[in-house]
Amino acid sequence: MSKRTLRKSMGYIKKEYPRTRTIPASWYLSSYKFKFNITHMKPFLDKLKQKKLVGLQCSSCNRIYFPPRQICGKCLVKPDRWIDLRETGRVASFTVTYLKDPETGEVLERPIVCAQLDGADTSYPAQLDPDIEFKDTYIGMPIKVHWAENIKGGLMDIEYYDSIEDSAKDLQPKEE
Amino acid sequence: MGRQVCVASAGFSEHASKRSDVNMPELVNEAIVDCLKRVPSLDIKDIDAFVNGNMPAFEGSNIPELWMTDWMGARNKPLMRVTTGGTTGGSVAIAGYYSVAAGLPGVDNVLAIAFEQQSQGDTSVGLASVAYGEISVMNSLGIPYDQLTLLLSGGAAIGIASYQATNYMRKSKITEEDLARVVVQNRHNAAKTWWAHLKMPDLTIEEVLDTPYISYPLRYGMVCPASDGACAMLFTTEEKAKDICDIPVFVNGVGSIANETALIGYGGSGSGQLDLSEQLGAQKTSEIAFNQAGIHFPRKEIDYAEVYSPFPNQELMWVEKLGLFEENTATKMYETGVTALNGELPINCSGGVNSTNAIGASALERPAVAALQIMGKASNQVPKTVHTSLGHGWGGYVNLVTMMVMADEPVRKY
């Protein structure tokens, strides 16, 4: 269905305006150099290489950031304590995207989630297992990290999140 | 303590997806002429200062306020520019309020102007440039660009809105039908407003639910359009307002508060907002603005509200977070007609942002319509007498909330 027929069916009253001369032009934004201090990220990325997850804790409000943040949004304090996190988590929020596959032209329905790892106080956008039906996704769904085959030391080492059962053993606290 | 500020008039240009007959300065001029038409005793020469704003990146022309000076009538007069993304209009209104409240000698009548001609450029490029800092950081953390566009659902505001929608729908247990009902009310109201964009007088809920998804749970029929349009609002002092208009509207409270960013945190980190529909910034803004205006029970004291809702779930969310309804009850209010034109608390009788969205101008149109409803001069006028009203704006890096509370009598501050 084209846009025009859609609008017609919804009873859209369109007003036509006379056209004046249009002069085409383009605005080229030259290359962009964003400054970003990477020092607070290094321990995090090093741990990712060992398939371990760590979050950065603010010493003032005890909020744990995953991925780490340079400054706490609440307290204006530099978080400095590294906390080990588990590989399980919950879906904090989700949506479904409808993107066209550039090769086959078919529309892919992919659930995209805001993942909150157990122990962390923040969420970040991530992908779910492509085999999970988008209708089965819900808020509060237990998930587990699925590591990529080639570990490079970046956020994409967590390729996607697997869904797990509510009673899965991974969710139980570890006995020391 | 500053001076008491009044709104004397407000004006709009016609909104459409492509205003092919005018360019940007001509569009702005349309709104200014409409604004001054309502105050016949005032001429453009009597305007002392100008506040102006839009999002230049969204249409691809930089510093437009300087090359349209002549069309605004701002030659040899103080001119200030404000740009805060989606809330540009709200910030422009607040800047106009401050300019008058400051009590500078010779600055009494201030014209606040906000505009956007989105058909001129590529808005999605502008939106991407806003988030570019964060995107490049996430890219450096090892997420390739093609994955990032997938993660951010195309990178536009609808990505964040759909996360908010799923959070809100789970919390208040509503269905897509409830979202469609909000859209239908807005589009019907827009059909009665002369300047609105999406006029659909015969829209039904089934027709909205028949359209394809853009991003779950928001459908094509539910999202706001991209419009061309401008809005102007005249701020003046209490004494002058009584001379130039019949019913001066007193601005009693303003607030603008930025919360933590919603989806990605600063520097590619995690976001501290787990529930995106919680909106602590909006709660704080309404608290501040209502306190200034001396309103203690907004549910009873506010007669009319204009909220910034490009997407229907946001309209339900904002009316609750601004304290107009109890938590999780907004859907029932739309169902029973409390928010309709002849209801107890009419909301968005101009059609709202859901029907007309010229990004820079949208947040200025909210207080403008709210003020005109008190004056009794609005295009889609509420049948009951409006004593207090509010105009709300949302945007920035999806975290800034602005608000303006107005009434037909001033609050005496101590």
- Which of A48, A103, A121, A123 best probes binding to B when mutated, by most B CB atoms within 10 angstroms? A123
Q: What distance in Å separates the CA atoms of residue B33 and residue B25, rounded to the nearest whole number?
A: 12
Q: What distance in Å separates the CA atoms of residue B75 and residue B64, rounded to the nearest whole number?
A: 14
- Contact residues on chain A for B192, CB-CB shorter than 8 A: none
Q: By the 8 A CB rule, do B394 and B86 touch?
A: yes
Instruction: Return the pLDDT at B149.
Output: 65
**Which residues are B198's β-sheet partners?**
none
Q: Exposed, middle or buried, A4 (CB in 10 Å: 0-12/13-18/19+)?
A: exposed
Q: Chain B: residue nearest A94 by CA?
A: B163
Which residue ranges make up each domain of chain A? 39-168
- The whole-model pTM stands at 0.90
Q: What distance in Å separates the CA atoms of residue A49 and residue A147, rounded to the nearest whole number?
A: 11
CB atoms B274 and A123 under 8 Å: yes
- Which of A33, A34, A37 best probes binding to B when mutated, by most B CB atoms within 10 angstroms? A34
Q: What distance in Å separates the CA atoms of residue B72 and residue B81, rounded to the nearest whole number?
A: 13
Element (H, E) at B132: helix B132-140
**Interface contacts A/B by beta carbons within 8 Å:** 171
CB atoms B163 and A93 under 8 Å: yes
CB atoms A127 and B150 under 8 Å: yes
Element (H, E) at B140: helix B132-140
Length of chain A: 176
Instruction: Return the pLDDT at B412.
Output: 66
Average model confidence (pLDDT) across chain A: 83
Q: By the 8 A CB rule, do B357 and B365 touch?
A: no
Q: What distance in Å separates the CA atoms of residue B64 and residue B72, rounded to the nearest whole number?
A: 11
How large is the greatest C-alpha to C-alpha distance in chain B, in angstroms? 63
Q: By the 8 A CB rule, do B262 and B292 touch?
A: no
A68 near B CB under 8 A: yes
Q: Chain A: residue nearest B209 by CA?
A: A10
A127 near B CB under 8 A: yes
Q: What distance in Å separates the CA atoms of residue B232 and residue B70, rounded to the nearest whole number?
A: 16
Q: By the 8 A CB rule, do B27 and B113 touch?
A: no
Closest CA to B393 of B174, B140, B85, B170: B85
Which residue ranges make up each domain of chain B? 5-122+230-407
Q: Exposed, middle or buried, B328 (CB in 10 Å: 0-12/13-18/19+)?
A: middle
pLDDT tens sequence for chain B (414 residues): 688 999 999 999 999 988 999 999 999 999 999 999 999 999 999 999 999 999 887 887 888 888 889 999 999 999 999 998 889 999 999 999 999 999 999 999 999 999 999 888 877 777 766 666 667 777 767 677 667 666 665 445 677 788 889 999 999 999 999 999 999 999 999 999 999 999 999 999 999 999 888 888 888 889 989 899 999 999 999 999 999 999 999 999 999 998 877 666 666 677 777 888 888 889 999 999 999 999 999 999 999 999 999 999 999 999 999 999 999 999 999 999 999 999 999 999 999 999 999 988 999 999 999 999 999 999 999 999 999 999 999 987 778 999 999 999 998 655
Instruction: Return the pLDDT at A1.
Output: 43
Q: By the 8 A CB rule, do B285 and B401 touch?
A: yes
Q: Chain B: residue nearest A124 by CA?
A: B270
Phi-psi region of B344 (alpha: psi -120 to 50; beta: other; left: phi over 0): alpha
CB atoms B265 and A65 under 8 Å: yes
Distance from CA of B163 to the nearest CA of A (A): 6
CB atoms B216 and A134 under 8 Å: yes
CB atoms A67 and B274 under 8 Å: no
Closest CA to B194 of B12, B319, B24: B12
A18 near B CB under 8 A: yes
Q: What distance in Å separates the CA atoms of residue B118 and residue B226, rounded to the nearest whole number?
A: 7
CB atoms A114 and B133 under 8 Å: no
Map tokens 């300019």 to a residue: B99
Q: By the 8 A CB rule, do B24 and B68 touch?
A: yes
Task: Please give the structure tokens belonging to residue B71.
Answer: 């069309």
Q: Which CATH class is domain B5-122+230-407?
A: alpha beta
Q: By the 8 A CB rule, do B407 and B367 touch?
A: no
- Which of B210, B269, B313 best probes binding to A when mutated, by most A CB atoms within 10 angstroms? B269
A41 near B CB under 8 A: yes
Distance from CA of A88 to the nearest CA of B (A): 16
- Tell me the DSSP string of B306-348: E---SSHHHHHHHHHHTTSS-TT-HHHHHHHTTTSTTSSS-B-
Instruction: Write down the H helix ranges in B141-195.
Output: 145-151, 157-172, 176-191
Facing residue for A15 by CB, picked from B16, B263, B271: B16
Q: What distance in Å separates the CA atoms of residue B265 and residue B248, rounded to the nearest whole number?
A: 43
CB atoms B141 and A41 under 8 Å: yes
A169: pLDDT strictly greater than 80: no
pLDDT digits (tens, 9 = 90+) for A105-157: 788 788 888 889 998 988 888 888 888 888 888 999 999 999 999 888 888 88
